[in-house]
Amino acid sequence: MNSNDKLNIIANSIRKKKLEKGYTSEELANRTGLNISIIKKAEKGSKMVNFEDYIIIFLILGLIDYNKLLNL
């Protein structure tokens, strides 16, 4: 599996969870405090999104657990 495949899996997970929660991209941007362009890039699987921004998105969407993250 190459890096593009991994980014596509991440992007699909973000889009799916966002829809499950009923969030728009704008609402997710507001909830994360990130710029809407970062959210849209993350949803498309762009290499331009940094690791920290992905972590924030994952935490807000419940894709990772904050308490478990602290115990790594």
Q: For 31-66, what is each residue's pLDDT tens digit?
A: 999 999 999 999 999 888 999 999 999 999 999 887
**Contact of 59 with 66, CB cutoff 8 Å:** yes
pTM beyond 0.85, yes or no: yes
**Contact of 28 with 57, CB cutoff 8 Å:** yes
**Top CATH class, 3-70:** mainly alpha
Per-domain residue ranges of the chain = 3-70
Rounded to a whole number, what is the distance in angstroms from the first to the last CA of the chain? 25
pLDDT at 72: 60
Please classify residue 6 by burial: count the beta carbons closer than 10 Å to its beta carbon, then call 0-12 exposed, 13-18 middle and 19+ buried. exposed
CA distance 61 to 67: 14
